[in-house]
Amino acid sequence: MCHPELQQRAEKLVSTCRSKGLLIGIGECFRTVEEQEKLYSKGRTTPGKIVTNARGNSFGSHHQWGTAFDIYRNDGKGAYNDSDGFFKKVGQIGVQLGLEWGGNWTSPVDKPHFQLPYWGSDTKKLKNTYITPDKFKQSWNDKDDKEKKMEKIYNSVSEVPQWGKDTIEKLLKKGYLKGEGANLALSETAIKILVINDRAGLYDKIN
């Protein structure tokens, strides 16, 4: 339910913290409209302290966009025990890993909270750009599709598939192709066409 980049950084945060003796767990991640609304009512129409300024139906929380997660302390000393500055230490590591940390906010200060830093602390920019979390989520898939469709580029003969090696070597030798080593910049489609031309004897006839 969360942005792929957020998932990566969450894993990285857990492992980096562990290597420094700070044991954390990942708590709340994605929140539905109903879940956010229930949280908003806390401290307002239901008991407890106010914990969020974001209404559910306004998509005002990064948790509703899959761009935020909360952590808890996982070393048996109490999930939110901060008497030894535990959360600030984790917060600083999170910032180093490219996350925005809620402990740096003023209203409310939200020490267990981390989010992706690209759209600002609030969700206005996300709302203006994508309207709803569902549409935002589609944009992640589009990007994945594009990456999958993107062709591999070969920059040296050693990388070229076996079926294309002879042709590419020949073209380099004759000087028709340049950039061996770093700038060959051949897609698989390009190599296929060159091989077909080579089989047709095109490069032999010229010389």
In the complex, which residues of this chain contact Zn ion (CB under 5 A)? 70, 113
Question: Least distance from C-beta 3 to Zn ion, angstroms?
Answer: 14
Task: Give the shortest CB-105-to-Zn ion separation in angstroms.
Answer: 11
Report residue 85 as tokens. Answer: 């500055």
Task: State the minimum distance, in angstroms, from the CB of residue 135 to Zn ion.
Answer: 22
Q: 131: which 2 tokens?
A: 């309207």
- How near is the Cβ of 110 to Zn ion at its closest, in Å? 6
Nearer to Zn ion, 66 or 164 (CB): 66
3-state class percentages of the chain: helix first, strand second, coil last, to nearest 5: 50, 10, 40
Q: Is 3 or 113 the residue whose CB approaches Zn ion more closely?
A: 113
Residue type, 47: P
CA distance 181 to 20: 41
- β 186-187/113-115 pair status: unpaired
Structural contact between residues 191 and 160, judged by C-beta atoms closer than 8 angstroms: yes
For residues 6 and 184, which CB has a smaller minimum distance to Zn ion in the complex?
6
If the CB atoms of residues 73 and 154 are measured against Zn ion, the closer one turns out to be 73
Helix axes 4-19 and 86-96, enclosed angle (nearest 10): 130
